[in-house]
Amino acid sequence: MRAFQITSFHAPPGLTQLAIPQPAAGEARVKIEACGLNFADLLMMKGQYQERPPLPLTMGMELAGTIHALGEGVTGPKVGTRVAVFAGSGGLADYGCFPATRCVPLPDAMSAAQAAAFQVAYGTSHVALDHRAKLRAGETLLVLGAAGGVGLTAVEIGKLMGARVIACARGADKLAVARAAGADHLIDSDTDDIRAAVKALGGADVVYDPVGGDQFNAALRACNPEARVIVIGFASGDVPAIPANILLVKNITVIGHYWGGYLTFAPNVLTDSLAQLFRWFEAGKLHPHISHRFPLDQTAQALETLRSRTSTGKVVVEI
């Protein structure tokens, strides 16, 4: 089978040939049909992600496909079941073996590409806004990086939860995508003064920030008293130093949020969230946005599309 692997943090990853794996006890083998790419994949290639698995490593954090074989002790999902898997790695291949407990059966109406674009982006935003920030209807939500993989889902979910949503993204084309996802107000991060624009709209009660850097600093200064700022990531490459005096004066809370971390200490948070997200999808309330699709042999181009920030929503590799 084919697999797209990192063999060195100092050389680009590439396709290689491997034997089809056999599922161990507790595992299911999945015939992979699609794999969603994430900003974390770019960090993992350089050994800069918060988790650094040993090499060689087959890339691809989230995937969708069909159960192909079961290891000892596994009773389900049954062979032939369509599933999504948040695996952390292994998705950019023809087959992969994963813990059966991570194989989530899909709604009939959800395609493999949609499923591969669903778990990390929607899961991150839903747990952040609902479980962590406790976003309330009528509050003002500011979403930075609002046309990206997670940012766009934050716009969509924030609107579903009854918030007034301010979307901040780069350029008219990306802002149009955020508008289509439900944003009430738009800010162009290339040309607008983020702090002034948000304050003119009444300030932010909740900030969703996958960007960091100068945008974090501008958003913090546009927060209302008792605002919550959710730190999702640092796509700008700049991890901001947080001025504690501003937190004190305005009673602001800064919340760290690493979605994948819940697998180790509170997996029920993710399970409950995903169940709600699937219900919303089946009711026609969520619409995964995939701007680019690539075949497996063009994974390097797919990653470059993500790195260059020319995509909106998700980039998916179809196996």
- Say how far apart CA 162 and CA 134 lie, in whole Å: 12
> What interhelical angle do 267-282 and 119-126 show, nearest 10?
110
Asked if the domains 2-118+288-318 and 120-259 are classified in one and the same CATH topology, the answer is: yes
Question: By the 8 A CB rule, do 201 and 222 touch?
Answer: no
- What is this structure's pTM? 0.91
Average pLDDT of the chain, as a whole number: 96
d(CA 145, CA 215): 9
DSSP assignment of 266-317, as one string? -HHHHHHHHHHHHHHHHTT-----EEEEEEGGGHHHHHHHHHTT---BEEEE
> 103-105 and 82-86 as β-strands: parallel, antiparallel, unpaired?
antiparallel
Question: What's the rounded mean pLDDT across residues 178-202?
Answer: 97
The answer to whether 33 and 59 are in contact (CB under 8 A) is: no
Nearest Cα to Cα of residue 34 among 79, 84, 104, 77: 84
Res 196 pLDDT > 80: yes
Closest CA to 135 of 235, 218, 255: 255
For residues 147 and 169, give the distance between their C-alpha atoms in angstroms, rounded to a whole number.
Answer: 6
Q: Which one is predicted more confidently, 40 or 157?
A: 157
Region 47-56: mean pLDDT is 85
The two structure tokens encoding residue 176: 């149009």
* pLDDT in the model for residue 232: 96
Examine the pLDDT at 293 and tell me if it is beyond 90. Answer: yes
Beta carbons within 10 angstroms of residue 17's beta carbon: 7
Residues 128 and 119: their CA atoms lie apart, in Å, by: 13
Q: Which CATH class is domain 2-118+288-318?
A: alpha beta
The pLDDT of residue 205: 98
Of the pLDDT bands very low, low, confident and very high (cuts 50, 70, 90), residue 50 is confident
Burial (Cβ within 10 Å: 0-12, 13-18, ≥19) of residue 237: exposed
Neighbouring-strand partners of residue 313:
290
pLDDT in tens, 298-314: 999 999 999 998 999 99
Superfamily (CATH) of domain 120-259 = Medium-chain alcohol dehydrogenases, catalytic domain (3.90.180.10)
Q: In the chain, where are the structural domains located?
A: 2-118+288-318, 120-259
Q: How far apart are CA 278 and CA 269, in angstroms?
A: 14
User: H helices of the chain, where?
Assistant: 39-45, 112-116, 119-126, 151-160, 171-180, 194-200, 213-220, 244-250, 262-265, 267-282, 299-307
Is residue 41 pLDDT above 80, yes or no? yes
pLDDT tens-place string over residues 65-113 = 999 999 999 998 999 999 999 999 999 999 999 999 999 999 999 999 9
pLDDT at 203 over 80: yes
